[in-house]
Amino acid sequence: MSDVFIAHALRTPIGTAGKAFRDLTAADLGAAVLKELTRRLPADQIEDVVLGNCMGPGGNVARVAALTAGIANHVPAITVDRQCASGLAAIQLAAAAHADGGHGGSGATGVDSAATEGGFVLVGGVESASTAPWRFWPPVGEAEPVRYERAPFAPADRDPEMGLAADLLAELHGITRERQDEYAARSHERAAAAQVAGAFDDEIVPVGGQTIDERIRGGLTAQRLAKLPAVFRAGGTVTAGNSCGINDGAAVVALSHTGPGLKVLAAASAGVDPTTPGLGLVPAVQRVLKATGLTIEQIDVWEFNEAFAGQVLACCDVLGLPDERVCAQGGALALGHPWGASGAVLAVRLFSQLITQQSGRYGVAAIAAGGGQGTAILVEACR
C-alpha cells in the first residue's frame, strides 16, 4: 500500500445498551466524533466520509452523521456493512482507495479516492444497540409478521448464533472455562488500570456528559466469574462474564496522504467456515503479516476484538501468539463491543498506544465477524 496514514483517531466513550446513550442514534454518536475531528482539520480538506454500521435504520447512516456534524453538503458519504468487522473494513476500503491516488480507487470500492494532496477521508464505524429498530419478516398468509434479532450472516444451515458458536469453538480448541475466566478478568483489570492512568483520555470525545467507558469493572476476578452459569448451552463454558456486552459507541479516524501518524502498511479481509466465525480474524492477520514480511514477534501492539474470551484465545493459539500480548490496556470484554464501531475502536486504540503513548513501532488490529469473515490492518508508527 502506498503512503496512507491515520493522522487522527477519536472515539466516543463506549456505553452499555439502555444506559448513557439510550436516546442517541448511531448517526448521533457518529456525528459527535466527526464534529470533533472537523474542528481539528481544515474544513476544505475533508473529501469523503466512510462509516461502518450493522444494526442502524438502513439508508446511509454515514451521510446522516456527516450532515449532522456540519460537514459541507458537497462532501459525499457511504455506509459499509461487514457486520462486526464493518468499522475496520471501512478503514481497509478507504485506505485502498486513498492509496490508489485517483486511478480507479473509487470505481473499485465505491469510496472517493480523495487524491488531493493534504486531503482527509474520515473513516470508522458507529453503532447504537439502544436505538436499533425492530425488524420483522413479512407475514406468510394470515400469520403475523415474525420479529428477528439479526439479519442472516450465512445460509440457515451454516449460521449459528454467535454465543453458541463461541462455546463450540472453545471446546474444539480445548479452551477451558478457567482460562476464559482468567482472560476476561485480566481484560477488566488492564482496562481499569488504563482508565485510572488516563490512557483513554486523549482518544475520547465526551458525549452527553459521559466521559468514560461504562462497562469496565475494576476488581473483577476469575473467582467471581467462575460462579456465573453457562448461558448458551448446558455444560458449556461461555458465560455473561467471559463474553462482551451489548453496547453503543462510535470511532472515526482521519486518513491522509501525509504523516505523522500510523502508516497503513497492509489491510486485508478473509473468509472462513461460517460455522466457526470466531476464527475469521486468523487468515486476515496472516495475510497482513505475509504482505509486510513482518513476524508476530516484531509486532509491538496487538488489538483483537474480544467478543468472547474463548474465541480470542482460540485465535491466539492458532496464530501462535501468546495471549498476554493481546489488548495490553484491556479489550471489548471490559470496554464493550459496539458492533459496527468495534473495528474502528481497535484502530483508535492502536493510535493511542503507538503515537500518543509511543509504546512501539508496529501494531495489528483484527476482528472477526458473523458469517465467517475477518479483517485486519497492520500499521507502523511514523512520528
pLDDT at 99 over 90: no
pLDDT at 227 over 50: yes
The dihedral built from the CA positions of residue 316, 193, 360 and 84, taken in this order, carries a sign that is: positive
Determine the pLDDT at residue 2. 66
Task: Check if the beta carbon of residue 301 is closer than 8 Å to that of residue 380.
Answer: no
pLDDT at 114 over 50: no
* Cα 381 to Cα 37, 266, 328, distances in angstroms: 20, 13, 17
**Amino acid letter, 73:** N
Give CA–CA dist 372/279, Å, rounded.
Answer: 7
pLDDT at 113 over 70: no
Determine the pLDDT at residue 104. 37
- 129: helix, coil or strand? coil
Based on its alpha-carbon atoms, the radius of gyration of the chain, rounded to whole angstroms, reads 19
Task: Check if the beta carbon of residue 19 is closer than 8 Å to that of residue 217.
Answer: no
Residue 101 pLDDT grade (very low, low, confident, very high; cuts 50, 70, 90): low
Give CA–CA dist 177/248, Å, rounded.
Answer: 28
Which residues share a beta bridge with 263? 5, 380
Q: What is the mean pLDDT of residues 229-251?
A: 97
Element at 95 (helix H, strand E): helix 86-100
Query: Which cell goes with 273?
Result: 467456515
157-198+262-382: CATH topology is Peroxisomal Thiolase; Chain A, domain 1 (3.40.47)
Query: Which cell goes with 291?
Result: 504482505
pLDDT at 223 over 70: yes
Q: What is the mean pLDDT of the chain?
A: 94
Q: What is the mean pLDDT of residues 172-198?
A: 98
Residue tagged 474544513 (cell numbers): 43
End-to-end distance of the chain based on CA atoms, in angstroms? 19
pLDDT at 140 over 60: yes
Q: What is the mean pLDDT of residues 352-358?
A: 98
Residue tagged 442514534 (cell numbers): 25
Q: Tell me which of 108-112, 183-187, 191-195 is least confident.
A: 108-112
Determine the pLDDT at residue 108. 35
Residues in the chain: 383
Q: What is the mean pLDDT of residues 12-29?
A: 98
Residues 287-313 have pLDDT tens digits of 999 999 999 999 999 999 999 999 999
pLDDT at 348 over 50: yes
* H, E, C per residue of 58-90: CCCHHHHHHHHCCCCCCCCEEEECECECHHHHH
Element at 344 (helix H, strand E): helix 339-351
282 or 117, which is more confident:
282
pLDDT at 367 over 90: yes
Task: Check if the beta carbon of residue 154 is closer than 8 Å to that of residue 372.
Answer: yes
Task: Check if the beta carbon of residue 111 is closer than 8 Å to that of residue 95.
Answer: no
CA angle 366, 371, 374 (to 5 degrees): 15
pTM confidence score: 0.95
What beta strand segments (E) does 291-336 contain?
301-304
Residues 246-293 have pLDDT tens digits of 999 999 999 999 999 999 999 999 999 999 999 999 999 999 999 999
Determine the pLDDT at residue 100. 64
Give CA–CA dist 231/76, Å, rounded.
Answer: 43
Task: Check if the beta carbon of residue 375 is closer than 8 Å to that of residue 89.
Answer: yes
Residues 57-86 have pLDDT tens digits of 999 999 999 999 999 999 999 999 999 999
Element at 11 (helix H, strand E): strand 5-11
Q: What is the mean pLDDT of residues 181-189?
A: 98
Give CA–CA dist 266/291, Å, rounded.
Answer: 7
pLDDT at 148 over 50: yes
CA angle 34, 211, 223 (to 5 degrees): 120
- 154: helix, coil or strand? coil
- Which residues are catalytically annotated? 84, 337
Residue tagged 492477520 (cell numbers): 285
Which residues share a beta bridge with 230? 239
Residue 98 pLDDT grade (very low, low, confident, very high; cuts 50, 70, 90): confident
**Amino acid letter, 200:** F
Q: What is the mean pLDDT of residues 29-42?
A: 97
pLDDT at 111 over 70: no
pLDDT at 115 over 60: no
Q: What is the mean pLDDT of residues 77-102?
A: 90
